[in-house]
Structure 1
């Protein structure tokens, strides 16, 4: 390295950013690459309408929406409209209509106000209708932003569907107190229809168990009191009740009830039905 290079070393060329097209690095731009003149235009502000633009200008300049300086606001609005037209942006008709409304309000404010003899305390304000529309639009815009901030399905969370097979309805079990109350009701009914008779009667619990099983149809319910015929004696009722308890104990008979204080039903158990 000579003395000139030591005193004035050459500047290092910074490396160019790596650009790859189809996996191959590209060091230089192609000669035939065409870039449209409007491809790099960027719009910093996007408005949803003329009211949105007016509200933005008012809040940006920290103006009082109830006392709008129409001259300054109209000048700023027209500057935006002219800038948009200069960039060949197709303006909607509502923007041009709002420009005409602002100019009309500005010109009406320059005129001397009329004195009303009937109502001297009230005067017509050309800005009243515009202020009302701006306040309503701002209220609706805030409500929309609050709704957008809420969690939304597909954006903030995903929904999941789970298939649950239909479970068989399980009837509530019968308490001993309710079964005893049903038995006492049957016993009291039998006492009212009996007469005094002296005799000896041999009754078999197993025989009554077989009769009950024969009376029941597999898969169908029978009301508890139908197992006790009205013409039965007290002894027969007692043996029949003992037979029901024995069948329930051996899981050959199901005793169910839909709800408290509802009628009690009996049904053959699945094992007995088979």
Structure 2
């Protein structure tokens, strides 16, 4: 193979093969053999290997890992193809089967993948180099576009800013651990039920927020809620809620105010009996 034809292939390897029947870049060998333009059995791979070892030794510390890797991949592919070509004729039905074996060779596929990765890496390097030549806009907005910007609506007046500043710079109180929950008094659900009976009987209906507006502690709110559940079980109240997590409306269905007051007195009496019983 003439050296001019080898150079037209554009081989990237600096190592060149010089044989009696071929001269050119080493990776061009595989291309010619796969295209049946050169018989692999006529290639002296041992001579190529010796020449490459001498070539890498001559480079010394400047040897290229990518070039050595490419040589190993191509050499392994050529060696595998040559072994397949040298098989006894009885093991191969015809020349088409042998050509199919060579075309689908695993090492040949790996070489193609290796070349594809090299091309993609070169493309990424080119894109990165191009991106380094780009610079962001560093000038002000053009005059004709200034009027298109919407006005900034902060919604905070100077008095609000002053209040925020005071909250930020005001000394924070030292953290304390509250012990109120350790000494919380007992809360009677019956007592709260008695309060709710009278209040709902007089108002007819109310929201849960209104019913707990006079509670000072969370435990009292819980007691009011449990009391409402007790009244609902007695069928004396009905709940209405438009949708989930919406305001809960409570409607009284337990009779007149007098009946509610009597039931409330009974709740208080039962509560006292349980306390002192």
Fold conserved (TM > 0.5)? Answer: no
TM-score by length of 2: 0.25
Q: Which has the higher helix share?
A: 2
TM-score by length of 1: 0.26
